[in-house]
Amino acid sequence: MARTHGHGNPKWTRDETVLALDLYFDLTPHIPSEGDKRVQELSGLLRRFPHHALASRKESFRNPAGVAFKLQNIRQVATGKGLDNVSEMDRLVWEELGGDPMRTKQLSNLTKVGISAAESLPESFESEPEFPEGRLVTELHNRRERDPRIRQRLLAARRRNGPLSCDMCSTNPNSKNGLLEDAMFEAHHLVPLSRSGARITKLGDVVLLCANCHRLLHRAITVKKRWLSVDEARNVSGLI
């Protein structure tokens, strides 16, 4: 069988697979080829997905041939015949929605609305104020802080020492539900990228802050035009 889904393109996400399943339900038992108008429409839609902007520059990305191939994969999952090319995501989506075309249609319509909405929104709602070190360091700092691995390591280390609390305002989560209690916390790097230089973050370089204090601290750094310790930021922001 021709392999048209490869070429180093990113794996199909759940949203995309749901859109394909919706089309499959509309068209089954007939599975159209890449020349079909509805296949081409779905291809065009998938290429507009906000987080696929970079991948969409490749011509092979979610092209009509790839969409037609995905419909074949879904038929394989649905019928249980010839499962060689079926992905884990195909299986999961079929397990969840294979018996529910109505729900699939609802999800698919919601995603379609979401794609249009994302296109009409500005790239970010509010551009973060810039640190004194400039835009690039600010952006890298923020990106590094969003790295879930360092946050998870920090949370695990803090949990070993007792209940979680914010290093700036000492606030505790109200929730005793383990799945929810860490939702309000973020990791803050004490040094800007340019000064630390290290590629690997050491736990000693990060503090645990509630989202509110983290925002305040970043703002205080930009207002004062210099890096502030947690103690300094607490004074500046009038928390004590």
β-partners of residue 186 are 209
Among 78, 137, 140, 169, interactor with Zn ion by CB under 5 A: 169
Among 74, 213, 221, 233, interactor with Zn ion by CB under 5 A: 213
Residue 61 or 185 with smaller CB distance to Zn ion: 185
Instruction: Give the number of other Cβ atoms within 10 Å of residue 211's Cβ.
Output: 12
How far is 37 from 175, CA to CA, in rounded Å? 51
Min dist CB 229 to Zn ion, Å, is 12
Among 188, 207, 216, 234, interactor with Zn ion by CB under 5 A: 188
- Site for Zn ion, residues 64 to 103, rule: CB under 5 A: none
Residue 74 or 209 with smaller CB distance to Zn ion: 209
Min dist CB 178 to Zn ion, Å, is 20
What's the CA dihedral at 37, 43, 45, 50 to 10 degrees?
A: -170
How far is 206 from 167, CA to CA, in rounded Å? 10
User: In this structure, are residues 91 and 73 in contact, taking their beta carbons and an 8 Å threshold?
Assistant: no
Among 210, 216, 221, 228, interactor with Zn ion by CB under 5 A: 210
Q: Which stretch binds Zn ion (CB under 5 A): 55-63, 151-159, 161-169, 193-201?
A: 161-169
Among 20, 21, 42, 168, interactor with Zn ion by CB under 5 A: 168
How far is 195 from 180, CA to CA, in rounded Å? 34
What does R_g of the chain's alpha carbons equal in angstroms? 24
User: In this structure, are residues 45 and 112 in contact, taking their beta carbons and an 8 Å threshold?
Assistant: yes
Q: Which stretch binds Zn ion (CB under 5 A): 98-106, 131-139, 145-153, 223-231?
A: 145-153
Instruction: Give the number of other Cβ atoms within 10 Å of residue 218's Cβ.
Output: 21
User: Does residue 184 interact with Zn ion by CB under 5 A?
Assistant: no
Whole-number Cα distances in Å, 163 to 177, 196, 215 = 12, 29, 22
Residue 36 or 145 with smaller CB distance to Zn ion: 145
Among 18, 46, 166, 220, interactor with Zn ion by CB under 5 A: 166
Residue 166 or 220 with smaller CB distance to Zn ion: 166
How far is 72 from 36, CA to CA, in rounded Å? 14
User: Does residue 62 interact with Zn ion by CB under 5 A?
Assistant: no
Residues in contact with Zn ion by CB under 5 A are: 145, 166, 168-169, 171, 188, 210, 213
